[in-house]
């Protein structure tokens, strides 16, 4: 049975579930996305400063971002799974807000919590028994399942994604953090540099090396694709 220890999070955030912040591509949409992200950062700092009311304002804004992030980490999660992980992540964040330094991005800090919560959920869930799979693309994200694929193609995709996910876990912790923030959290090199107090060029170099290592792992298992 699924826990509902923090039900208000779901109730406050429900309207935004089907409208992730990255769904609009025009100029006005981009401006709205930027404004929302800036609001999240401002509210995160208010939470850090002990403003309890800021949490209620933060939940509906961060919820679609967090659920989308979890789905990108584990495409095998259904909507309920992703919501459970998002809720657990917010609960953990409330209890650990003192560990947020306030210097970097609040999103980066919260994504780090979500990565751990999602990993724990995946290991303890029955997803594997249901034959679910992981999809972890590095060049953009395709959230649509290709129903036209043959069983053999789907199996190959599952193998490739699972091996890639294991390869990510073999990277040094600091490199895994960069991969999660950039490829899954969609943070720019500059945003990551700000969050982790690094030079943007260093972030770019390390991410390039990480991607090369992951592609080598895929090639070893003959699971690379012709389009890279």
d(CA 192, CA 108): 8
In the 3-class helix/strand/coil scheme, how is 161-172 assigned residue by residue? HHHHHHHHHHCC
DSSP alpha helix (H) spans, 74-144: 79-95, 106-124
The distance between the two most distant Cα atoms of the chain, rounded to a whole number of Å, is 53
User: Model's pTM, two decimal places?
Assistant: 0.67
* Domain boundaries 7-132, corresponding CATH code: 1.10.1740.10
pLDDT value at position 134?
Answer: 43
d(CA 122, CA 119): 5
Q: Span 215-219, mean pLDDT?
A: 77
Q: Where are the domains of the chain?
A: 7-132, 134-228
pLDDT, tens digit, 9 for 90 and up, residues 170-213: 889 899 999 999 988 989 999 999 888 899 999 999 999 998 88
pLDDT value at position 4?
Answer: 39
Q: Are 187 and 105 in contact (CB under 8 A)?
A: yes
pLDDT, tens digit, 9 for 90 and up, residues 14-66: 433 333 444 444 566 677 777 888 999 999 999 999 999 999 999 999 999 99
d(CA 131, CA 125): 12
d(CA 203, CA 191): 10
Task: Assign domain 134-228 to a CATH class.
Answer: mainly alpha
The DSSP letter of residue 97 is: G
The DSSP letter of residue 102 is: S
């Amino acid at each position: 049975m699924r826990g509902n220890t923090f039900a208000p999070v779901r109730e406050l955030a429900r309207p935004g579930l089907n409208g992730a912040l990255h769904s609009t591509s025009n100029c006005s949409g981009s401006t709205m996305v930027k404004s929302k992200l800036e609001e999240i950062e401002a509210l995160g700092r208010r939470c850090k400063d002990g403003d309890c009311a800021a949490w209620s304002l933060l939940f509906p804004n961060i919820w679609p971002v967090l659920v989308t992030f979890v789905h990108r980490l584990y495409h095998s999660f259904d909507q309920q799974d992703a919501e459970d992980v998002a809720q657990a992540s917010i609960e953990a964040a409330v209890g650990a807000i003192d560990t947020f330094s306030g210097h970097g991005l609040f999103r980066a800090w919260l994504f780090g919590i979500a990565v751990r919560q999602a990993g724990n959920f995946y290991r303890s869930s029955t997803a594997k028994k249901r034959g679910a799979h992981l999809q972890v693309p590095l060049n953009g994200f395709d959230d649509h399942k290709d129903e036209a694929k043959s069983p053999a193609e789907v199996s190959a995709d599952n193998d490739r994604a699972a091996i890639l996910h294991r390869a990510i876990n073999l990277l040094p912790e600091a490199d895994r953090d960069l991969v999660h923030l950039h490829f899954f959290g969609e943070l720019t090199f500059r945003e990551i540099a700000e969050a982790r107090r690094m030079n943007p060029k260093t972030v770019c170099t390390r991410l390039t090396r990480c991607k090369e290592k992951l592609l080598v792992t895929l090639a070893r298992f003959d699971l690379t694709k012709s389009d890279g």
